[in-house]
Homo-oligomer: A and B are copies of this chain.
Amino acid sequence: MENQVALGIDIGGTNTVYGLVTKEGQILYHHEIPTEGFNPAIGLIKRIESRIQEILEKDSQLKLSGIGVGAPNGNHFTGMIQDPPNLSWGNVDIVNLFKDKFRSDVVLTNDANAAALGEKYYGSAKEMNDFIVITLGTGLGSGIFSGGNLLYGYDGFAGEMGHMPIEHNGRRCNCGNRGCLEAYASASGIKRTIKSFLKDNPDDALLQKLNSNSLDGFLIDSEYDKGNPMAKKIYSFTGDKLGQGLAQAATLLSPEAFIFYGGFSNAGNRILDSAKISMDQHLINGQAGHIELMRSGLPQGQAGILGAASLIWSSM
């Protein structure tokens, strides 16, 4: 019997995960490869194509219905990836590059929107119409469902919650502004917090250990669990800022829940507990206490593939 599958691709700054997904959300095959963002995008596409063609040739029952792509700065309307952070691609017409190789339908969205679609169709948000998925990694992204629809905005760039200003004249952000949520509540934001705390506490052993190029989230987590007061301080500061941003978004959108996804969401309640307190403090009276903060219901790395694949099923 013929088995229709979509190819879901989640392009990340470091690695790219892709997989063949049935309409029911079963991942028949998946693979993770380095994105190699220092090389042109076509290299990545060729590597994916040769592997997928091989699989499709081996199993003649599999029929490719289309390709869904989630990528940083991926624009659903234009089909372009526009100057993605951590990739030296500039502006790439990724949809047409994939179409040329695969002769198949190709739909693009950004990585956070793909994660939100994944949660809606296959994860924690199946029964929800109003929720916001927040991807916590190097940066902070968001995908917004309201009234059962994913919001794109006029130009396809809705959901830039990481760049909502939460501090007037706060930390300078890569985007050129000051005080963006992402400059506090993300792996790169925590690194800056560590550097700033180190100035006031130059002898703190944990801060000294953490003050390196890559952020060791597991170390903070384990020190937090042992009761280390500096680990608690790092996460309560981060959660407080995150909660301010959540309150801003909730005041506009009144979601049922925020769902957290991405590497740094593994800190879980260590951050989310203080984020919840801060969010509730900043909400108007009626809303406080009603909005849930929860972690993704999908295994790490799968929401992106599933969400990208669902772009095909929802467009059919």
Which chain A residues have a beta carbon within 8 Å of chain B's beta carbons? 82, 128-130, 142, 144, 146-147, 149, 151-161, 163-168, 175-177, 244, 247-249, 251-256, 281-287, 290
Contacts and interface: CB of A to CB of B under 8 A. Distances in A.
A209 B137 CA distance: 54
Contacts of A147: 149, 151-152
Number of this chain's copies in the complex: 2
A177 to B, nearest CB: 6
A160 B252 contact: yes
22 contacts: A146-B158, A147-B149, A147-B151, A153-B253, A153-B254, A154-B254, A155-B290, A157-B287, A159-B254, A160-B254, A164-B248, A164-B251, A165-B247, A165-B248, A165-B251, A168-B244, A175-B285, A176-B284, A176-B285, A177-B281, A248-B248, A252-B253
Contact of A254 (B158, B165, B251, B285): B158
The winner among A158, A247, A283 for most chain B CB atoms within 10 A is: A158
Contacts of A175: 284-285
A158 B253 contact: yes
A157 B290 CA distance: 12
Contact of A144 (B155, B166, B244, B252): B252
